[in-house]
Amino acid sequence: MPGFRRRTAALILLCALACGCAGIGRQVDWLPSGPSFSPKKTGDVEVFFSRAQVKHPYGAMALLHGWDVKPEDKKSLDRQIQMMRELAARNGADAIIAAINDHETGQGDFSGGLPDGLCNAYAIAVKYVDTLTPQERQALQNWKP
């Protein structure tokens, strides 16, 4: 019986690794440039598509990066932005400033690295500096990259 359990555990581990390598359950990358804060509700994280839309002074917390898709796959692009909003909420951001990288048109800050015919969503997660609590100010002072 112990050999059966060991083989079963190894098979489950192998299947889990194969699923991860196959791209199942795509994720958004969180590349921090500052500390995380107390989580908040996803609906409390504002979504902007231009820096000019943001009405508060802010600091960048992280760069968020989605996966490559065809430009006509609007559902995947919308899902990437929603996942970015959820991830930003888990890390206590006040807003994300989102955009789409498009290799074909050269639109987007990072478009040069995409394969032809593909695009992805990216965003900057931000924290409003005019609404920081004393604990959040302390977290900023203590943060080390």
CATH number for the domain spanning 31: value is: 3.30.110.70
Does 19 reside within a domain?
Answer: no
Instruction: Rounding to the nearest 10 degrees, give the CA dihedral for residues 107, 100, 77, 20.
Output: 100
Does 35 reside within a domain?
Answer: yes
Instruction: Between 49 and 7, name the one with better pLDDT.
Output: 49
Number of domains in the chain: 1
Does 17 reside within a domain?
Answer: no
- Residue 33's pLDDT is what? 94
pLDDT at 145 over 50: yes
Instruction: Rounding to the nearest 10 degrees, give the CA dihedral for residues 66, 67, 71, 73.
Output: -100
Nearest to 26 by CA among 126, 120, 123: 120
Mean pLDDT of the chain: 81
What's the Cα-to-Cα distance from 111 to each of 15, 23, 68, 122, 136, rounded to whole Å?
A: 34, 22, 11, 11, 34
Return the percentage of the chain with pLDDT > 70, whole number.
72
Does 20 reside within a domain?
Answer: no
pLDDT tens digits, 85-130: 999 999 999 999 999 876 555 555 444 555 667 888 899 999 999 9
Nearest to 95 by CA among 58, 141, 135, 132: 58
Measured over the CA atoms of residue 88, residue 123, residue 113 and residue 74, the dihedral's sign is: positive
The residue count for the chain: 145
Match 């990288």 to its residue by tokens: 101
Other Cβ atoms within 10 Å of 1 Cβ, number = 5
pLDDT at 22 over 90: no
**Cα-atom radius of gyration of the chain, to the nearest Å?**
19
Span 49-65, mean pLDDT? 95
Does 58 reside within a domain?
Answer: yes
pLDDT at 46 over 60: yes
**Residue 96 belongs to domain spanning:** 26-142
Contact 26, 67 (CB under 8 A): yes
